[in-house]
Amino acid sequence: MRLTVLHPELKPLIGEFAGGLMPIRLGEDTTLSLVIKTQKEAILAAKMNGSFAFYLPALPSSTVTTTSLITAFFDDDDEPLIISTPLFGDDNFSQGIIEILKYEKVDVYFFDEQNYEWMSFRTALEDNGSCLIGVEDIHLLGYHPETAKSIHGVLSDWFGNRSQQDDECAIQVMFKEELSPNDIFVLDMTPEVNNYQGGPGFRRDTLTRTDPGYHQERDISACLLRAFGPRQIMMNPRRKDTFKEILDHLVLTDQLAILIQAKDSPTTEAGISRTLERKRRSTHSQIDDAIRQINGAARYLQRETTAMLVVGGKDMEISLGQRRVIGLAIVKELFDDEGEAYAAACKKLTGLSGGGVVMDYNSFHAFTHRFNTEADFIRALDRLIERVSTNGWIKVKDEVFDGVLDWVEELRAMPGS
C-alpha cells in the first residue's frame, strides 16, 4: 500500500474516480506515475502475466486521423479485460496519459473499485509500433462529451476486430520491480463501508478470492451505502422460522423494496484462466439461480403480512405494505453479444410490481458511483428497467459511462486545468 501510505492526500481523489487510468505527479517528481483503478480480475491477470498492454489505434475522423487508448489485461488471449480511454488534445488528463505512453519506464499503482491498493510495480514500456512512433500524422480531437461517447464505441468495435498485427504493435508494459509487497491482506473497519445492517462492522479482503460470496456481499453492501442509509440496507436476511437466508440484500425505502441476489465465481488464477465458453455458461447459470431466489423471496415477503426476519442476529419485523418491489440480479460478468438472452432473463422478473434487471458487478459499482443518492439511484434504475422491458437489452456499462465523463468535466473546471 505504498502510494496511499506515502501520499495520503491522494486517497480522496482516487475515491472520487469511478475507474480507469489516472496520471499523477508525486511530490517533487519530474515524471508522472500511473494509477489504474479497475476490477480485481484485471489486476490478477496483470499479476499472473507480469505485464499488460496499451493499444493506440489510428482512428479516422471527419477531418484528421486521431487515436485513443485501450488498456488490455489478458485473462483470455482473444477477449481480454479492457479499459477504454478516449484521448483529447485540450485537457491535461489526456496529455498526462500521452506523456506516460512515451516513457521508457513508469511506476504503476493498482487499485480496485473499493479503493484498496493491491500492488505497485516499476514497469518498462516497449513500444513495438504504435501510432505514437508511426509515420502517420496523428491529431487528438477537442473534448466534448458526445465525442467521448463516440470514441468509446469506436474503440470497442476496433478492438473486437483487431488483427494479429495490431497485437504485435501494442505497447507492452512489463513488470520489472516491485514497489511494495503484493501479498496484501486488508482489514477494513471504517464505518462508511461497514455500517449496514447484518454486517459485523468490519471486512477482510485479499486480491485472490476462493470464497467469493463473502466478499461480493460486502462489496455490494459498500456500493449500496453510496446511495442509501445504513438502516435501509439489510444483508443476508433470514426467515426466523427456518433460519433460511432469503436474499443477499433487502433495501427498503418509503416507497420501494429492492431485492438483490448476487452470484460470483472465485477470483483465482484458475478461475480467470477458464475458457470463455465456460465463463459464458457460468453467467447464464448464475442469472437463472439469482432470479429464482429473488422471485422466491418476493413471494415469501408478499405472502406474509409481517415477515419475521433475522438480520445480523437481530429479530426484525418487515412489512412490504404498498411498496413497489424491484428485483436486481448481479453476476460477475456479462458478455456484449448475449443481450437477447439477458433481456429474456429480465422478463422473468416482470411478475414483480417494479420489474427487475440483470447487471454485472462492475456495472453495479459504476451505477452506484454515478447515481449516489437515493432519489437518483431509484430514478435511474426505474429508467433502466423500463428501457430494457420496452426496447430490449442495453449495456448498463454504457448507461453509466456518463459518470466518468462527469469526473473529467469536474477536472477540466478546476483552476489550472
Q: Are 250 and 234 in contact, with CB atoms under 8 Å apart?
A: yes
Contact 58, 136 (CB under 8 A): yes
Using 50 as the pLDDT threshold, list the residues of the chain that sit under it.
none
pTM of the model: 0.90
**pLDDT at position 45, please?**
94
Strand, helix or coil for residue 406: helix
Question: Which pLDDT does position 409 carry in this prediction?
Answer: 58
Residue 55 has which C-alpha cell? Answer: 493499444
Q: What pLDDT is recorded for position 251?
A: 98
What pLDDT sits at residue 399?
Answer: 64
The bridge status of strand 105-111 relative to strand 33-37 is parallel
Cβ proximity of 235 and 221 under 8 Å: yes
Within 8 A by CB and 6+ apart from 283, the residues are: 331, 332, 333, 334, 335, 338
The pLDDT tens digits of the residues spanning 169-182 come to 999 999 999 998 88
Q: Note the pLDDT of residue 156.
A: 87
**Domains, the chain, ranges and CATH?**
2-183 (no CATH), 185-402 (3.40.91)
* CB neighbour list of residue 157: distance below 8 Å, 6 or more residues apart: none
At 1 the pLDDT is 64
275 neighbors 284 (Cβ within 8 angstroms): no
What pLDDT score was predicted for residue 77? 82
